[in-house]
Structure 1
Amino acid sequence: MTWGWTGVRGTWATPQAEQSLRELAAVGGVTWVTIAFAALQETAHSTRIPFTEPPTVTDDELRWAIRRARELGLRVCLKPTVNCADGTWRAFIAFFDQDVPGEPSWTEWFASYREFILHYARIAQQEDCELLCIGCEMVQADRQERHWRELIADVRRVYDGLVTYNCDKYQEDRLTWWDAVDVITSSGYYPSGTWTEHLDRIEGVVERWGKPFFFMEAGCPSREGSAARPNDWTLAGAASPAEQERYYREMFEACTGRPWMQGFMLWDWPPRLYAIDEAAHNDDYCVYAKPAQDVVGEHYRALARRSTDHRTAQARE
């Protein structure tokens, strides 16, 4: 499960955030949490990422969240992410392929991004986070293979846990540097009725690179029409917990027969939950107190049983 987004300063390390983490840990079968937060650069063509400034959560808030999650028995993936303050999606962050004097460049941007990621890699190391996600849905930046490889090498000098990158939906077979990370992850916002074709495609990626795979993001708003466009959080429609529940059942059923599928960091679980009596009218991604929460618990418990059975069988061999 993914917790904390977008990591606004002052919204963590509060009684509401404490209760939110407790409710998340109580969902049956949940063993991991991705703690996700964003720093803001001004535009898609800015080269400075002021991650120590508001609205990004402070290091103290971040350490609080990691420690509380671990006290609740959860393993932790740390996911620092960059967003654009003007609302442009981070997938459109881009510069000229070749550095041009006097123009913003990939070299300048990656220098700032490196400082950003290494700062949190050091915290991940100090707080014993099991997994670090070094980027999310950076579709235009994905092509900058040299920069990513250099960044990953730098990360490994300060962090000895597992490293992953969260590519966007439809991009799993387009990255050329999966060998540099430990785990392949992506955002699995695939429309209802299309799971088989996309899982077949992803299976080829897993076989080619020989790496573990899970969905770093996946889910669907509880909103009419969202099953056809689960990635679109702006889609207009009435609240529909039933549509969300159906989507989750279809997703889990499609993935169950894929032994290479390691799990889901479902999107998402906010630091301040809505009241239980508001769940039927909430149309966002969170499954708290909605029918989809029971579906998630059923699947996660079944996944845990299969994992236990597999380990037992291996021990007997």
Structure 2
Amino acid sequence: MRLIQILLIAILLQSCTAPDKKINGVSYVAHRDSITQKNIDPLLNINANYAAIMPFAMVKDLAHPEVNYDAERQWFGETITGGKQYINTLKKNNINAMLKPQLWVWKGEFTGLLEMKTEADWLTFEKTYSKFILAFAQVAEDTNTEIFCIGTELEKFVAARPEYWSKLIKDIRKIYKGKLTYAANWNEFEKTPFWEQLDYIGIDAYFPVSDSKTPTVEECLKGWIKHKATIKQFADKYNKPILFTEFGYRSIDYAAKAPWTVDRIEENVNLEAQVNTTKALFEAFWKEDWFAGGFVWKWFINHEKVGGIDNNRFTPQNKPAETLIKEHYKVN
């Protein structure tokens, strides 16, 4: 009888335990320099509890079979040594990390279109990509990094070589003992074949949710209904939490129409559009128990020199959206 009572008390206590705090993260852009406390304080100010560290490897073009990383000419934050320094400095401030090694194709071409022309090239590409990813899996393990992202927006690579990805995940697990995800583009995640092998369903959440010049929160919430239903279906299907490996909007007109747009037009700053779209995303997802949180795109280390009210790029820094994020992260 006493054993039953103890079990009942344990169940009751467990049911009363508050859910884990959401991942309130930023995508922390690599820099030529190491980071110091000065670079961390703005993250603490917005109540961030996670940062995505993003070292890069270089690929010459969309069909080039070699991945080059940790080169002497790369910025410090893109290297193995830099990744470790960033993560360890964040951890001293109780900020957790997701290590998210990524590919950069010459001239900024979209990584989702990477596709080799021959079997020999595929094998070379796989070999060099594995070397890159496994090197940073070791960094993640050595630094006790909480989450490791095995790839970002590699739709054609994933579609063409699913067996490779399954083996890669197994190889990563031999090195790294933490949680794994993959950052699928918003229109890619439904086709990604290996969610069962990962811990989070990762989505770069650039879903179109409004065609308005200055979308309202209500318009965006309405635009999220269909997408949200599909996302929840995946959480239920795989019994995995959803993680927005990237989310965010530019401070520009029509910010929610094609949120992935990165063209360099300098006009049409719209700070209200960035606030409303971000607020709607928070309202749509952050209270859901199947949603783990996410990483706002993007955050630069030299806080005082970036963003601002004349800037129409993604960063919320020194804009009204920064205040919104600070208030939201404080209570969630």
TM norm structure 2 = 0.82
> What displacement does 1:78 show?
0.5
CA shift, 1:257, in A, is 5.1
State the identity %.
21
SS at match of 1:252: helix
What does 1:90-129 align with in structure 2 at a 5 Å threshold?
90-96=111-117, 100=119, 104-105=121-122, 107-129=123-145
Runs of 4+ that moved beyond 4 A = none
Output the CA distance in 1 between the equivalents of 2:91 and 2:49: 10
Q: Distance in 1 between matches of 2:148 and 2:292?
A: 16
Aligned counterparts, 1:55-70, within 5 A: 55-56=74-75, 57-70=78-91
Are residue 35 (structure 1) and residue 48 (structure 2) matched? no
Verify the 8 A CA contact 2:286 2:293 in the aligned structure 1: no
The answer as to whether partners of 1:2 and 1:35 remain within 8 angstroms in 2 is no
Distance in 2 between residues matched to 1:300 and 1:123, nearest whole Å: 28
TM-score normalised to the size of structure 1? 0.86
Contact 1:39/1:55 (<8 A) preserved: no
Tell me what 1:45 maps to: 63
Residue equivalent to 1:314 = none
Partner of 1:231: 260
| Equivalent position of 1:309 in the other structure | none
Alignment-derived partner of residue 3 in structure 2: none
Unpaired segments ≥5 residues, structure 2: 1-24, 210-219
Q: How far did residue 86 of structure 1 move?
A: 3.5
The aligned residue for residue 278 of structure 2 is 248
Q: Which amino acid aligns with 1:168?
A: N
Superposed CA offset, 1:214-248 (max 9, x none): 10000001112222221112163422221111111
CA–CA distance in 2 between the matches of 1:222 and 1:200? 27
Q: Say whether 1:138 aligns with 2:143.
A: no
Secondary structure at the residue paired with 1:132? strand
Matches within 5 A, 1:1-317: 1-5=25-29, 7-8=30-31, 11-14=32-35, 18-28=37-47, 30-53=48-71, 54-56=73-75, 57-96=78-117, 100=119, 104-105=121-122, 107-143=123-159, 144-192=161-209, 193=220, 194-234=223-263, 236=265, 237-256=267-286, 258-275=288-305, 279-303=308-332
In structure 1, C-alpha distance between the alignment counterparts of 2:95 and 2:287, rounded to whole Å: 26
- Residue 261 (structure 1) shift: 1.3
Deviation at 1:250, TM superposition (A): 1.4
- Number of aligned positions between the proteins: 291
RMSD between superposed Cα atoms in Å: 1.9
Which ranges of structure 1 fall in alignment gaps of 5 or more residues?
304-317
Matched residue type, 1:2: V
Tell me if structure 1 keeps the 8 A contact 2:35–2:89: no
Structure number with greater Rg is: 2
Equivalent pair of 1:169/1:186 in contact (CA under 8 Å): yes
Secondary structure, counterpart of 2:225 in structure 1: helix
How far is 1:31 from its partner?
A: 1.1
One-letter amino acid of the structure 1 residue matched with residue 270 of structure 2: S
